[in-house]
Structure 1
Amino acid sequence: MGRLTEAIKHLLIINVLFFIAASLYPDQMYQWFSLWFPENENFEFWQILSHMFMHGGFAHILFNMYALWAFGTPLERMWGRNKFLFFYFSAGLGAALIHSGVNYYYFNEGMEALVNSGLDRSQVMSIISQGKYSPDWYNLASQSTIDNFLSAYNTPAVGASGAIYGILVAFGMSFPNSELFLIFLPVPIKAKFFIPVLIALDLFSGVTGYSIFGSGIAHFAHVGGALFGFLMMWYWKKNQFSNNRWD
């Protein structure tokens, strides 16, 4: 890949600095800079951007930063620094929008089920704002409804994965026949095949709740980043905008 391009170099540095700070002051950093549900008292407007620099562990930041370098470098060289940054943050913001929208659906579905069962909304809010819940709620709605309701309110989102998925889509559309060598596959696979399969697996996991990648993954954020990445690439190609550089 050669030397680091400017935008990717600075993104790597900022992500690593945030990771070090979160390791030293985890409570404060995750409260202030993760993306919380908008009705959660921890939510702040800057989290829509800041959560993209937070990560849940060493493996999380390692894979994200590797993907940023591996797939983002040829894109920045092709587009220029400013255009790459515009695409990267647009995909990340799109991921946050889709993730928050899905959480709103889960939250309202759970709240509606509890209120329709005779509970007072303000009392329910008072309980969950303390990080608590009532076991009796599982007698009033399905387990998945209550689990999704509680997770939507209490679980913040962290990571650059949404933006990375946008980058993956852009790479796949720009270099479809590039062969990727992956640790878990014994043979190279072309980008135009691997990336759609990866996104489909995330969509499957988000819809079914069954994740082959492990727990605690914001699958709809991945899908949202991929969707916004695809829409931007489609629009750029349709309008010949992809031929322009922003240095």
Structure 2
Amino acid sequence: MSFINDIKLRYKKGNIVEKLIYINLAVFILTLFINVFQGLYKGELNFVFEWFSLDDSFSSVLTKPWSIISYGFLHADFIHILMNLIVLYFIGNLFIEYFTQKQLLSFYLLGTLFGGILFLLSQNYFPLFDNESSVLVGASAGISAIFIGIATYMPNYQLKFRFIGFVKLWHLAAIWVGLDILALSGGNAGGHFAHLGGALFGFLYVKQASNKEIKIFDGISSLFTSKKTPFKKVYKTPKKKPVKSNQNTSLNQQQIDSILDKISKSGYDTLTKAEKEFLFKQGRK
């Protein structure tokens, strides 16, 4: 029991990235056990996948509305979850250095939502998917939203890789998105459409957050974030407006300089009455 208590303690003390990793691992382990028991009874499909994965038809969303979010916590196999959680750990911890943990959760959930929407649209629009049936699982859409979101916020941030050196974040993001685009005609095209949906959300959200005039996602994100915690964004220091030169001030300063120069050369007594009055008035301002 100490092992379980230790996990519980780690979960409570962990940040949102660690909690998401624990949740995904717990769900994955649960599906493994169910696979074993259903296999013993010749079950054809794991009922967790049946009820919580996202089907490729719009009608299924009406019967299982939660599936458009819940699919983001399911994974097909060990390699699938391993790769996703490694990226989530490193990119997620970078994200919360600049944003709040609630905002990361918003990106994960909303990225999953947008990924699911693009998956459904692609499956029902492109001829590539005619006469095919598929389901969507995986956290990649939510992770893509986090990845592209932080890359959009600070594109020139550099990460150091052994044998390669420093690589800018936007270069990695471009490779990430480019690989998904190149794989759109492959066997897992629907999954890559979902990744792009999450990436598109991350990009658009960060862009609109830096523009007060655009509020496309404010209502949606408020479902997952506290209204008291505004989205952090880049605040550009306003350029100081150049002070317009005042012609009178410039002339007065020139006259003062001329009078002071005259005093330094010839003495105060050489000033005219008008010059003395002018200097007196300027000294009282």
User: 2:105 corresponds to which residue?
Assistant: 85
Could you say if the C-alpha distance between residues 28 and 198 of structure 1 is closer, same or farther in structure 2, counting changes exceeding 3 Å? same
User: 1:200 corresponds to which residue?
Assistant: 178
User: 1:167 corresponds to which residue?
Assistant: 146
Superposition deviation, residue 241 in structure 1 = 4.3
1:95 matched to 2:99: no
| Structure showing greater relative contact order (alpha-carbon pairs closer than 8 Å, 6 or more residues apart) | 1
Asked whether the equivalents of residues 6 and 81 of structure 1 are also in contact (C-alpha less than 8 Å), the reply is yes
User: 1:156 corresponds to which residue?
Assistant: 135
Q: Secondary structure at the match of 1:56?
A: coil
State the AA in 1 paired with 2:26.
L
User: 1:66 corresponds to which residue?
Assistant: 86
Could you say if the C-alpha distance between residues 186 and 76 of structure 1 is closer, same or farther in structure 2, counting changes exceeding 3 Å? closer
State the AA in 1 paired with 2:23.
I
1:216 matched to 2:235: no
User: 1:227 corresponds to which residue?
Assistant: 200
Of 39, 44, 47, 1:28 maps to: 47
Residue by residue over 1:90-137, the C-alpha shift from the partner in whole angstroms, topping out at 9 and shown as x without a partner, is 11111111111111113xx5xxxxxxxxxxxxxxxxxxxxxxxxxxxx
Q: Secondary structure at the match of 1:50?
A: helix
Stretch deviating more after TM superposition (218-227 or 36-45): 36-45
State the AA in 2 paired with 1:198.
W
State the AA in 2 paired with 1:178.
Y
State the AA in 1 paired with 2:103.
K
Superposition deviation, residue 159 in structure 1 = 0.3
Q: Secondary structure at the match of 2:197?
A: helix
Superposition deviation, residue 73 in structure 1 = 1.1
Asked whether the equivalents of residues 58 and 120 of structure 2 are also in contact (C-alpha less than 8 Å), the reply is no
Give the Cα separation in 2 of the matches to 1:5 and 1:11. 10
State the AA in 1 paired with 2:170.
K
Percent of paired sites with the same residue: 26
Superposition deviation, residue 204 in structure 1 = 2.6
Q: Secondary structure at the match of 1:25?
A: helix
Superposition deviation, residue 166 in structure 1 = 0.9
Give the Cα separation in 2 of the matches to 1:167 and 1:196. 14
Give the Cα separation in 1 of the matches to 2:169 and 2:49. 34
Of 178, 182, 185, 2:157 maps to: 178
Of 22, 30, 42, 1:13 maps to: 22
Could you say if the C-alpha distance between residues 231 and 5 of structure 1 is closer, same or farther in structure 2, counting changes exceeding 3 Å? farther
Asked whether the equivalents of residues 141 and 195 of structure 2 are also in contact (C-alpha less than 8 Å), the reply is yes
Q: Which runs of 5+ in 2 are unaligned?
A: 1-12, 36-45, 213-229, 235-285
What root-mean-square deviation, in Å, do the aligned CA atoms of Structure 1 and Structure 2 show?
2.6
Could you say if the C-alpha distance between residues 62 and 182 of structure 1 is closer, same or farther in structure 2, counting changes exceeding 3 Å? farther
State the AA in 2 paired with 1:161.
S
Q: Which runs of 5+ in 1 are unaligned?
A: 110-144
Asked whether the equivalents of residues 178 and 190 of structure 1 are also in contact (C-alpha less than 8 Å), the reply is yes
Superposition deviation, residue 186 in structure 1 = 4.2
Give the Cα separation in 2 of the matches to 1:31 and 1:40. 15
Count how many residue pairs are aligned between Structure 1 and Structure 2.
Answer: 194
Could you say if the C-alpha distance between residues 243 and 57 of structure 1 is closer, same or farther in structure 2, counting changes exceeding 3 Å? same
Q: Secondary structure at the match of 1:238?
A: coil
Give the Cα separation in 2 of the matches to 1:168 and 1:39. 28
Asked whether the equivalents of residues 202 and 222 of structure 1 are also in contact (C-alpha less than 8 Å), the reply is yes
Superposition deviation, residue 87 in structure 1 = 1.8
Residue by residue over 1:138-194, the C-alpha shift from the partner in whole angstroms, topping out at 9 and shown as x without a partner, is xxxxxxx4xx2233xx210000000111111122123323334568x8454221112
Give the Cα separation in 2 of the matches to 1:189 and 1:7. 26
**Looking at CA atoms only, which structure, 1 or 2, has the larger radius of gyration?**
2
Residue by residue over 1:32-71, the C-alpha shift from the partner in whole angstroms, topping out at 9 and shown as x without a partner, is 1111123576961111111000001111111111111100
Asked whether the equivalents of residues 233 and 242 of structure 1 are also in contact (C-alpha less than 8 Å), the reply is no
Asked whether the equivalents of residues 162 and 221 of structure 1 are also in contact (C-alpha less than 8 Å), the reply is yes
